[in-house]
Amino acid sequence: MSIEVGSKLQGKVTGITNFGAFVELPDGSTGLVHISEVADNYVKDINDHLKVGDQVEVKVINVGKDGKIGLSIKKAKDRPEAPQRSHSQSNSHSQRPRQNRSNDRNAPRAETFESKMAKFLKDSEDRLTSLKRHTESKRGGRGAKRG
């Protein structure tokens, strides 16, 4: 049985690391499900989602020349139309605001951004100066602070 990109397979979790889970496929080969491919939401600890010995459905997302197999659990779920629709909608909508933003560059909103940026830079420089003064006084060694 050849592992092909895009195919969905049943596998068994054989190992868990802090960056993903190793899944044994039906043909005996092992692939990696990266932690970012475990669930649709953010996964802080993979152990909250998977345990060694779990049977999971995975989709092959890549096969490297070195034989490494990249797998995804979240892409194996059956809902192919929703991402395509939202992707095409986001493309059509994202083009309109870009045009509007380019028309607004000379509007007062751009000046507001510039003034915010100038204030941020000034605050940032003030904080850096204060931090440098504070750390330099600590580097003086014994007797640097005399009162």
Q: pLDDT tens for residues 2-15?
A: 788 999 999 999 99
Share of the chain above pLDDT 90, in %: 42
| d(C-alpha 44, C-alpha 72), whole Å | 17
pLDDT of the residue at 116? 84
Q: Torsion over CA of 96, 98, 100 and 106, rounded to 10 degrees?
A: -170
Let me know: does 121 contact 128? Beta carbons within 8 Å: no
- Asked if pLDDT for residue 92 goes beyond 90, the answer is no
Q: What are 14-72's pLDDT values in tens digits?
A: 999 999 999 999 999 999 999 999 999 999 999 999 999 999 999 999 999 898 999 99
CA distances from 32 to 39, 69, 131 (A): 14, 6, 44
Q: To the nearest whole number, what is the mean pLDDT of the chain? A: 79
Which CATH number is 8-76's, of 1.10.3720.10, 2.40.50.140, 3.30.2320.80, 3.90.950.10? Answer: 2.40.50.140
pLDDT of the residue at 132? 84
- Enter the pTM of the model: 0.52
**With bands split at pLDDT 50, 70 and 90, how would you rate the model's confidence at 86?**
very low
Residue recorded with tokens 């007062």: 108
Let me know: does 14 contact 49? Beta carbons within 8 Å: no
Let me know: does 66 contact 11? Beta carbons within 8 Å: no
pLDDT of the residue at 38? 93
